[in-house]
């Protein structure tokens, strides 16, 4: 059944278990192997120190309290020595344990930091189609909830596993050394508990995976509905109650899963606790029976038996917690594995668009900006180029056989009906998507043979929906060129006709623009975006309907800002305004992914084809005055010679 809201991208199959997860987890610790080794040594040392006090207790009973045939003075001196050792041992053990905890947390936090960094860097390299099919909240959940959820596995479970194994093995060995019958009595039922714990762990892993998915869904709802855009939409349509109910339903689901995850295995561990609590009673029964029958064992007298019983019951209390932890660790590891599976699932996503071996660096200062679309074919659901002739665009191709050339410094305008493929064409130039057939070339080089980083330097984009970070105007502008000086920032703002407006603001360049720039008007955001691109100074410029949603006054200001931006660089503009079309060297009329007509404005009007029909429909009533290079003057949308 498909998930609502694109919770998991369709190209990522959900898996209950991923082979090799354990080995990959171990590899995450490789950079910190020295610290891990030191932690292991400290664990072994503290575990060994923990055996001292039970042995000292045996000595107290056997050689001090019950050794009535020994001189009182010697027993007193021995008692003081033993007590001093019993006091010193936990102090030393505690200090070593504190050191171990510090190192353990340092390693764990470093591994978590590495996972977050690797996951974020991998997501930065994912193609655009991944983000168009996955909710932002789901992605954020992987970075925060899932990585945060493995903290216990990294900082507690990994180290406690070694510590508890060491404690259990050493304690059981000492119990057998003291009295093998009593040791067998103490641990006889453990194999049954081990089998049960494995089954409980499998259930816990499944519930943990479901819990994280529900948490991701809740995060996605919050991200979608509590953003400025989401709140505006919710209020505009009066859907507050609907969104509140949707949140409550998901929150209720998460509540049930959290309760189930917490309670899974609690009855099992209650049974373990009961068993360990009553086991000393059986030890006392057997030991008392041995003493009453006069059997103390070969080479043992009554005081040795008493000392042994006290030591073993003390060791039992020492054994309960680590043994319970070991039985529980299977459940915790299974839960942690579910989280690691979700993290590795994203890390294993294929990055379709990457730098090829031998990719060249295109220097922005040396690039000419010549653009050539060479028989380009593309479709969004295509997994790779096949053999044979391309199908017709009507059979699934978004772009079909597009071929055009833009010389350095030229302006090429793309016009056509909505959904014709204009925006898709502009996405192929900076490799937001890769072509399926043909090639897109810059200065004669296929963009697939140019590094993505240098493509980003050579190409600049101004889109209809301007994105600004929730930061200052200065930081948003400098995003185009972080090393820009104050003078360069001001020059870019002046060129974009936004400088005077910035100076009117209380904090000037340090004014916060708000989330996604919502403190700024549409025209102001567009001019800030233009200033950002001016500062970047790319050789190739893409304008995607940069003024289509603005009022007349804002459009005029943005058009003025675009003039210095367009000059001297190759520009490909998706044009919904007549003023942009009139300035174009070449107009390409796009329909159903194909170039239907091409030429200048005057040529296409004389041809009286698809472009002329669109012009009469959309632009004939426009109040525009402009002069073309061939002397045509257009006033109020009419052609005048």
Predicted confidence at residue 537, as pLDDT, reads 82
The burial of 303, by beta-carbon neighbours within 10 Å (0-12 exposed, 13-18 middle, 19 or more buried), is given as middle
Residue ranges of alpha helices (H) inside 226-239 are 228-236
Predicted confidence at residue 405, as pLDDT, reads 92
- CA 498, 563, 412, 608 dihedral sign is positive
In a domain, 488, yes or no: no
Query: Locate tokens 């009419």: which residue?
Result: 638
In a domain, 474, yes or no: no
> What is the layout of strands, in order, in the sheet containing 540-544?
459-463, 540-544, 570-574, 411-415, 586-591, 594-599
Are 422 and 570 contained in the same domain?
yes
In a domain, 499, yes or no: no
The CA distance from 544 to 539, in Å, is 16
Q: Of 403, 405, 397, which Cα lies nearest the Cα of 375?
A: 403
Q: Of 397, 402, 373, which Cα lies nearest the Cα of 385?
A: 397
Are 623 and 560 contained in the same domain?
yes
Predicted confidence at residue 366, as pLDDT, reads 78
Are 291 and 430 contained in the same domain?
no
**CA 463, 466, 472: angle at the middle one, nearest 5?**
145
Predicted confidence at residue 622, as pLDDT, reads 47
Predicted confidence at residue 503, as pLDDT, reads 87
In a domain, 496, yes or no: no
Q: Provide the residue count of the chain.
A: 641
The CA distance from 166 to 184, in Å, is 19
Predicted confidence at residue 280, as pLDDT, reads 67
Contact 569, 506 (CB under 8 A): no
Contact 377, 390 (CB under 8 A): yes
> What is the layout of strands, in order, in the sheet containing 399-406?
399-406, 371-378, 437-442, 445-446
Residue ranges of alpha helices (H) inside 482-609 are 486-495, 499-504, 522-536, 552-566, 578-582, 601-607
The CA distance from 426 to 423, in Å, is 5
Average pLDDT along the chain, 641 residues, taken 10 residues at a time:
35 47 79 86 83 76 69 79 85 86 83 84 80 74 75 67 77 77 70 67 72 78 70 66 82 82 67 68 68 55 66 70 67 71 82 82 81 90 46 68 89 86 89 89 89 85 77 82 85 83 84 73 79 84 70 66 75 76 86 90 89 78 42 38 35
Q: Which domain holds residue 291?
A: 4-347
In a domain, 489, yes or no: no
In a domain, 516, yes or no: no
The CA distance from 133 to 3, in Å, is 11
Cα 136 to Cα 345, 349, 589: the distances in Å are 16, 16, 35
Predicted confidence at residue 12, as pLDDT, reads 35
CATH number at residue 592: 3.40.50.300
Q: How many domains does the chain have?
A: 2
Are 144 and 101 contained in the same domain?
yes
Fill in the DSSP letter of residue 360.
B
Burial 124-143 (b: 16+ CB within 10 A, else e): eebbebbeeebbebbbebbb
Burial 429-467 (b: 16+ CB within 10 A, else e): bbbebbbbbbbbbbbebbbbbbebebbebbbbbbbbebe
CATH number at residue 14: 1.20.1560.10
Are 334 and 435 contained in the same domain?
no
Q: What are phi and psi of 437, to 5 degrees?
A: -140, 155
431 DSSP β-pair partners: none
In a domain, 493, yes or no: no
Identify the H or E element spanning 174: helix 158-178
The CA distance from 416 to 402, in Å, is 14
pTM of this structure? 0.66
Give the end-to-end CA distance of the chain in Å, rounded to a whole number: 64
Q: Of 47, 74, 48, which Cα lies nearest the Cα of 59?
A: 74
Are 430 and 288 contained in the same domain?
no
Rg of the chain over Cα atoms, rounded to whole angstroms, equals 37
User: Can you spell out the DSSP letters for 455-484?
Assistant: HHHHEEEEESS----SSBHHHHHHTT-TT-
Q: What are phi and psi of 386, to 5 degrees?
A: -105, 180
Query: Locate tokens 């960094």: which residue?
Result: 117
Predicted confidence at residue 641, as pLDDT, reads 35
User: Residue 420: how many CB atoms within 10 A of its CB?
Assistant: 21
Query: Locate tokens 């909505």: which residue?
Result: 418
Are 85 and 200 contained in the same domain?
yes
Contact 473, 529 (CB under 8 A): no
The CA distance from 527 to 511, in Å, is 15
Cα dihedral value 368, 372, 377, 378, nearest 10: 20
- Written as six digits, the tokens of 145 are 């909830």
Are 63 and 139 contained in the same domain?
yes
In a domain, 243, yes or no: yes
Q: Any residues with CB less than 8 A from the CB of 303 and at least 6 apart, and which?
A: 61, 62, 66, 67
Query: Locate tokens 């599976």: which residue?
Result: 341
Mean pLDDT of the chain: 75
The CA distance from 112 to 147, in Å, is 7
Are 451 and 320 contained in the same domain?
no
Domain boundary among 315, 347, 379: 347
Are 335 and 458 contained in the same domain?
no
Q: Any residues with CB less than 8 A from the CB of 603 and at least 6 apart, and which?
A: none
The count of C-alpha atoms lying within 13 angstroms of the C-alpha of 580, restricted to the half-sphere facing its C-beta, is: 28
The CA distance from 64 to 336, in Å, is 49
Are 384 and 237 contained in the same domain?
no
The CA distance from 400 to 416, in Å, is 15
The CA distance from 435 to 160, in Å, is 52
Predicted confidence at residue 8, as pLDDT, reads 37
Q: Any residues with CB less than 8 A from the CB of 411 and at least 6 apart, and which?
A: 566, 570, 571, 572, 573, 583, 584, 585, 586
The CA distance from 17 to 526, in Å, is 48
Are 246 and 393 contained in the same domain?
no
């Amino acid at each position: 059944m498909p998930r609502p809201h694109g919770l998991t991208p369709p190209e990522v199959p959900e898996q209950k278990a991923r082979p090799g997860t354990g080995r990959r987890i171990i590899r995450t610790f490789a950079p910190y192997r020295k610290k891990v080794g030191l932690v292991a040594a400290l664990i072994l040392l503290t575990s060994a120190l923990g055996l001292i006090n039970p042995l000292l207790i045996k000595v107290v009973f056997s050689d001090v309290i019950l050794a009535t045939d020994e001189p009182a003075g010697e027993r007193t001196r021995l008692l003081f020595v033993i007590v001093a050792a019993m006091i010193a041992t936990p102090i030393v053990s505690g200090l070593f344990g504190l050191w171990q905890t510090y190192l353990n947390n340092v390693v764990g936090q470093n591994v978590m930091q590495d996972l977050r960094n690797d996951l974020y860097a991998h997501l930065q390299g994912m193609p655009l189609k991944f983000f168009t099919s996955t909710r932002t909240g789901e992605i954020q959940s992987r970075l925060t909830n899932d990585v945060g959820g493995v903290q216990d596995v990294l900082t507690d479970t990994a180290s406690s596993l070694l510590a508890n194994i060491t404690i259990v093995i050493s304690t059981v060995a000492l119990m057998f050394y003291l009295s093998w019958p009593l040791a067998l009595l103490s641990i006889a039922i453990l194999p049954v508990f081990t089998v049960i714990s494995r089954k409980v762990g499998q259930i816990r892993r499944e519930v943990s995976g479901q819990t994280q998915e529900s948490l991701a869904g809740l995060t996605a709802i919050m991200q979608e509905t509590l953003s400025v855009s989401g709140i505006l939409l919710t209020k505009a349509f009066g859907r507050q109650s609907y969104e509140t109910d949707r949140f409550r339903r998901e929150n209720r689901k998460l509540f049930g899963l959290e309760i189930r995850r917490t309670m899974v295995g609690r009855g099992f561990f209650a049974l373990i606790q009961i068993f360990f609590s009553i086991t000393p009673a059986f030890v006392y029964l057997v030991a008392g029976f041995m003493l009453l029958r006069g059997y103390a064992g070969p080479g043992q007298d009554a005081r040795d038996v008493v000392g042994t019983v006290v030591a073993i019951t003390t060791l039992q209390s020492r054994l309960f917690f680590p043994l319970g932890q070991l039985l529980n660790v299977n459940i915790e590891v299974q839960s942690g594995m579910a989280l690691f599976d979700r993290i590795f699932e994203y890390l294993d996503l294929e990055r379709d668009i990457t730098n090829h071996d031998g990719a060249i660096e295109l220097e922005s200062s040396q690039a000419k900006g010549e653009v050539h679309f060479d028989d380009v074919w593309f479709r969004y659901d295509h997994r790779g180029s096949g053999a044979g002739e391309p199908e017709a665009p009507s059979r699934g191709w978004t772009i079909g056989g597009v071929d055009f050339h833009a010389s350095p410094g030229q302006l090429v305008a793309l016009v056509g009906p909505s959904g014709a493929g204009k925006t898709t064409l502009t996405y192929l130039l900076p490799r937001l998507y890769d072509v399926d057939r043909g090639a897109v070339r810059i200065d004669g080089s296929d963009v697939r043979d140019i590094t993505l980083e240098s493509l980003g330097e050579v190409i600049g984009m101004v889109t209809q929906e301007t994105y600004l970070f929730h930061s200052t105007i200065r930081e948003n502008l400098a995003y185009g060129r972080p090393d820009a000086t104050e003078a360069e920032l001001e020059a870019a703002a002046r060129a974009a006709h936004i400088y005077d407006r910035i100076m009117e603001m209380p904090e000037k360049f340090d004014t916060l623009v708000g989330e996604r720039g919502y403190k700024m008007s549409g025209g102001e955001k567009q001019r800030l975006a233009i200033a950002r691109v001016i500062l970047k100074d790319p050789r190739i410029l893409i304008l995607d309907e940069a003024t289509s949603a603005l009022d007349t006054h804002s459009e005029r200001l943005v058009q003025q800002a675009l003039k210095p931006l367009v000059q001297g660089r190759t520009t490909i503009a998706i044009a919904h305004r007549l003023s942009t079309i009139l300035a174009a060297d070449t107009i390409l009329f796009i329909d159903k992914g194909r170039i239907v007509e091409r030429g200048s404005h005057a040529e296409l009007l004389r041809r009286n084809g698809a472009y002329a029909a669109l012009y009469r429909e959309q632009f004939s009533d426009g109040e525009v005055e402009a002069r073309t290079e061939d002397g045509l003057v257009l006033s109020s949308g009419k052609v005048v010679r």
